[in-house]
Structure 1
């Protein structure tokens, strides 16, 4: 089985790559949003009460603080935070104590998406491009995948029975609301697999007849704000497969914090040989080939940290295959 990842944003070492916040929404923003909700006052009413105390603040600024678009840093803004604690019936320091040190000023850097990165990874006229069509160069724009964990279960014949995928993703701009993953099964003629989404919302699943790729569109439930993280967790169960599988791969366009793959083999039929590898692109040979041990539970795993662009995989040879 080959899996095409939801792609990360390109962040090359040239200094002109994608730049995005490394923080989840600040505790201050979360606490302010919850305090405003509990108090039940509209933002303009809150601003009127601040004005009565000699502090000028706009509803738009308050809205930005709640969404972590901006944070209080100037002296008048810090005075407003202290006053908000009283207006919102909070204890002294309950908001102001959550403010972090000042961060650099200036406009938020624009997100640069390298539209050619996907094609460099898979090559021209790839089946990934065939399956995605016009969306191929920029699919999953607006999110970066930070962590991926996959758990692959094989049946007694060595065929794929189910695959669990977990992603931690971060928004690199305001507004992304979904992730797309593309899976290529060993037996595409077996039809669509059964998909169960545990975290996220399955919005669509379809199979491209020409390439055999199965595309899942999983919604986050709402648009994400810049820097916000969310998780996607789902499982696919295949129909009866005819061909034992001998590898599993994931394509990563670049700069992913970690990738973990676990493969559970049949207890009574462990592989004769099992190893991990890396390929720069779909047409490159395997490099960094390392033997893997199948543990007492019948599983082997591949772990890669600080992943760069390339294809990360595990392959094995069944004991009854020709050497």
Structure 2
């Protein structure tokens, strides 16, 4: 007997409802949950079956699909969905056909709450596609500080990040992060360490573009109006020492206005910059101009403060001693040499 004939002849029920009717009515998340329940397969079993076909999909991603937080979008995810229909002994296209209507509902929190910062950089959108961003829309950033350490070779070694956030509704238990390093960081990725008041949740990466993103899960869900302070450190990969990955700017992108943002660069005495300058711009701007010069302090440290800043990106650009002085405040080409956190 073929798999197709089995699918047609068997009409399982889920909580007294006919599975075929659930598949017809949708939405996608409900149909996906019902099909899994009807076949009695766990997510780990589905993951193993997909792996046998050369597709690596995390348990978290499958969980997000059945909860409705996210839906399949990428080519690899859509390919996985077709295989899942076979694994769950469903008619071909029965789940895929529900995506069009579900997409409008499921993607609204992403588009209304956390916009993609650079439409011309689709790798950001791809990185976020399997990470639910709805919880992050209920957080208000109150204070942000980034302390960046520059090594003796003039390259960024690590960044200590501190955030104070306030919950705008009950039950918020996580925040979103994105971090990019050197534009093209090769196979190694930034490493997130030294977490305080949170732990890593789901994490996605794009090694080819040097991107890592995911969730910081708080110690417990917050009540409306309650604040949380988290801290973490981002260490650049070893190959960042390669001259082709040289970075001479650091910035943070804000999706919403933040009352106070402090960015601080700490230089090794063997790699003091010739010049440091603050820059900022709107999300749509690719190459913002310098806004003012900054003085290096006695501890080889330079900083800048943004007040009530955003949406947009804010950072510091520096010129090494070997840089050629063009006599003008040059445009920051941060799209090719950059290190950026995204809020």
- The bucket for the TM-score relative to the shorter chain is 0.5 to 0.7
Equivalent residues in 2 for 1:91-170 (5 A)? 115-116=111-112, 118-119=114-115, 121-123=117-119, 125-133=121-129, 135=131, 138=134, 140-170=136-166
8 Å contact from structure 2 (residues 274, 320) kept in 1: yes
Structure 1 residues 284 and 292, CA gap change in structure 2 (3 angstroms)? same
Instruction: Report if aligned partners of 2:188, 2:210 keep a CA contact under 8 Å in 1.
Output: no
Task: Indicate conservation of the 8 Å contact 1:168/1:229, yes or no.
Answer: yes
Equivalent position of 2:224 in the other structure: 226
Which of 176, 181, 188 pairs up with 1:185? Answer: 181
Name the CA distance, whole Å, in 1 between partners of 2:294 and 2:311: 22
Q: Which residue of 1 aligns with 2:285?
A: 283
What is the distance in 2 between the residues matched to 1:222 and 1:118? 23
The equivalent residue for 1:304 is: 306
Q: Which residue of 2 aligns with 1:322?
A: 324
Q: Note the alpha carbon deviations across 1:133-179, whole angstroms, 9 max, x for none.
A: 25487572211111100000011111121110000001111111011
CA contact (8 A) 2:127 2:204 kept: no
Number of aligned residue pairs: 212
Provide the aligned C-alpha RMSD in A: 2.5
Cα distance in 2, alignment partners of residues 125 and 237 from structure 1: 23
Residues 198 and 136 (structure 1), Cα distance of their counterparts in 2 relative to 1, 3 Å cut: closer
Matches within 5 A, 1:42-57: none
User: Would the aligned equivalents of 1:119 and 1:137 in 2 still touch at CA under 8 Å?
Assistant: no
Larger relative contact order (C-alpha < 8 A, sep ≥ 6)? Answer: 1
Q: Is the 8 A contact 1:122 1:283 kept in 2?
A: no
Q: 2: CA distance between counterparts of 1:280 and 1:307?
A: 10
Distance 1:265 1:291, change over 3 A: same
Task: Name the SS for the 2:219 alignment partner.
Answer: coil
Give the TM-score taking structure 1 as reference length: 0.60
**2: distance between equivalents of 1:118 and 1:246?**
28
Structure 1 residue aligned with 2:215, among 211, 214, 217? 217
**Runs of 4 or more consecutive aligned structure 1 residues displaced over 4 Å after TM superposition:** 134-139
Which structure 2 residues correspond to residues 75-90 of structure 1 after superposition, within 5 A? none
Residue 121 (structure 1) shift = 3.8
Deviation for aligned residue 1:283: 3.1
The DSSP-based 3-state class of the residue aligned with 1:122 is: coil
Q: CA deviation at 1:206?
A: 3.9
Give per-residue Cα distances to partners, 1:256-285, cap 9 Å, x unaligned: 111000011121221111101111115343
Instruction: Classify the secondary structure of the residue corresponding to 1:115.
Output: helix
Are 1:295 and 2:291 an aligned pair?
A: no
- The structure carrying a bigger helix percent of its residues is 2
Deviation of residue 231 (structure 1)?
0.6
Structure-2 separation of matches of 1:134 and 1:217: 11
Q: 1:238 aligns with which of 225, 236, 239?
A: 236
For 2:282 and 2:206, how far apart are their aligned partners in 1? 26
| Structure 2 contact 138–169 (Cα < 8 Å) conserved | yes
SS of the equivalent of 2:126 reads: helix
Indicate the SS of the match to 1:130.
helix
Extract unaligned runs of 5+ from structure 2.
1-107, 326-343
Q: 1:281 to 1:117 in 2, by over 3 A?
A: farther
Aligned to 1:176: 172
Pair 273,126 (structure 1): closer, same or farther in 2 beyond 3 Å: farther
